[in-house]
Amino acid sequence: MNALFPAGFRWGSATAAYQIEGAAAEDGRTPSIWDTFSRTPGKVRNGDTGDIAADHYHRVREDVALMKSVGLTDYRFSLAWPRVQPTGRGPAGQKGLDFYRCLADELLEAGIRPVATLYHWDLPQELEDAGGWPERATAERFAEYAGLAAEALGDRIGTWTTLNEPWCAAFLGYGSGVHAPGRADDQAALRAAHHLNLAHGLAVRALRDALPTTVEVSLTLNLHVARPLTDTPQDVDAARRIDAVGNRIFLDPVFHGRLPADLVADTAHLTDWSFVRDGDLTAISAPIDSLGVNYYSPALVAAGRSESPSAWPGAADHVRFLPAPGPRTAMDWPVDASGLHELLLRLRDELPGVPLLITENGAAYDDYADPEGAVHDPERVAYLDAHLAAVRRAIDDGADVRGYFLWSLLDNFEWAYGYGKRFGIVHVDFASQRRTPKDSAHWYAEVIARGGLPR
Ligand code: IFM
């Protein structure tokens, strides 16, 4: 295997606003659904909230210096909608925009390309109160926000991603309810998925209108690698159902301007999909410049039933998830880099001509700073090494992968798990906000300097 990556490969790391920024009530930011959800007893472990998080809002210089010391070429972050456009409608919040202007300027000065995601789950609470993603109006509001952010920041930011992981926003937020806003309603979840697709399509148009043609416009999906336990028709059908409501519900509208027929059939008892209006699929399939892929682990599935409420409408009554053998991360997710290789070859075959970016990949482990102040995280290094090797193999096999963004730069607020799960390559002591690069940060710095893996 060729351990070096192609020249110009983008070496990045990723974060998201609510997970690191803190300053939840500063400079005009209004509450998002995650502020509300995390304050609802029993929703987030330990009662943790993103009020302070990694205090990145006040530590931008220090954090960009850390990125520079690792040698990142690109940094992927998200804009907090309730900071940029408080309450989700009307004029921009100038102080919120100033924060992102300052972040982008610091990055550019450090020689790091800013990669902005417009939506990483922090819907302004006022828009949820008006119905949230199950309502079409939320997609229209999102397009306005996208245009306003692009007008203000387009001179500094060259890569724009509309949504991060709309599957989680729709199906964890409105299906199983383990994420904000915590609703458990299959039909609402399917409506949310469509309106997130529509929000993406309308935002692509708004971004294109506001930005120079050289700017890259993208979408990030967490695509599922669902492997059937056996090759019986029942188990194979279980995997197909997960693929329909986990992957093709986004891929087909965005890249082919159609709804998957099998998904419509699988969900016929829940909805007639009449919320999809004439012209929606054309808007959703506006061409984009790259696809962001988030991958952590594959799933093993068989015929059966899943627990209710579930994140898998149309599939839950026919599918059970099984524990895959082998090592696991602190999230209890299996470590299996072959799933990433498999996924990239699938995208190579199904989406020829679409450049790919791995916009998230990484692992949580129970890290701690030892008495000498070092953080040894050999399991994370092994995880990253195996997954980067899988990306390199996929490139050798013809997948057009242009970059890799490690999740995450900093330990952060891991949603319903609170601060208990550490994904960072930089350890954060949340009491003092002291940052300590872990061994994995030093390892990643060497990989970037070398332009590939140590083989
Ligand atoms: O922390 C999250 C991130 O916000 C979205 N993708 C998965 C990560 C790990 O769970």
Q: Tell me, using a 6 A CB cutoff, whether residue 295 lines ligand 1.
A: no
- pLDDT of 1 higher than 70: no
Instruction: Provide the sign of the torsion angle of the four alpha carbons 410, 296, 34, 160, taken in this order.
Output: positive
Ligand 1 atom having least distance to the Cα of 294: 6
User: Would the CB of 9 count as within 6 Å of ligand 1?
Assistant: no
Residue 360 confidence (pLDDT) above 70: yes
Question: Looking at domain 10-450, which of 3.40.50.620, 3.20.20.80, 2.60.40.10, 3.30.70.890 is its CATH number?
Answer: 3.20.20.80
Integer CA distances (angstroms), 161 to 135, 145, 174, 207, 347, in order: 22, 13, 22, 10, 18
pLDDT score for 325? 87
Q: Among 167, 407, 422, say which to mutate for ligand 1: greatest number of ligand atoms within 8 Å of CB.
A: 407
Question: Mutation test of ligand 1: which of 117, 119, 165 has the most ligand atoms closer than 8 Å to its C-beta?
Answer: 165
pLDDT given for residue 285 in this prediction: 99
Biggest distance spanned by C-alpha atoms of the chain: 63
Separation CA 238–CA 235 (nearest Å): 5
What does the domain layout of the chain look like in residue ranges? 10-450
Across the range 199-228, mean pLDDT stands at 98
- What is the best residue among 78, 423, 425, 428 to mutate for testing ligand 1's pocket, by most ligand atoms within 8 Å of CB? 423
At 394-452, the pLDDT tens digits run: 999 999 999 999 999 999 999 999 999 999 999 999 999 999 999 999 999 999 999 99
> What whole-number percentage of the chain has pLDDT above 90?
98
Atom of ligand 1 nearest to the CA of 362: 9
- What 3-state DSSP class applies to 117? strand
Angle at 285 between CA 214 and CA 138, to 5 degrees: 95
What ligand 1 atom has the least distance to the C-alpha of 364?
9
Residue 227: how many other CB atoms lie within 10 Å: 18
SS3 call for 265: helix
Nearest CA to ligand 1 atom 5: 165
What single letter denotes the amino acid at residue 390? Answer: A
Q: Find all residues with CB under 8 Å of 94, minimum gap 6, and list them.
A: none
Is ligand 1 within 6 A of the CB of residue 66?
Answer: no
Segment 234-239 mean pLDDT:
98
Q: What pTM, to 2 d.p., does this model score?
A: 0.99
First to last CA, the chain: 9
Q: Would the CB of 411 count as within 6 Å of ligand 1?
A: no
pLDDT, mean of residues 256-279: 98
> Which residues are identified as catalytic?
165, 360
Model confidence band, residue 454 (pLDDT cutoffs 50, 70, 90):
confident
Query: Average pLDDT, stretch 293-316?
Result: 96
455 band by pLDDT with thresholds 50, 70 and 90: confident
Q: Can you tell me which atom of ligand 1 is nearest the CA of 222?
A: 6
Which one has a higher pLDDT value, 164 or 455? 164
pLDDT given at position 380: 98
Distance of CA 82 to the CA centre of its chain: 18
- 147 close to 211: Cβ distance less than 8 angstroms: no
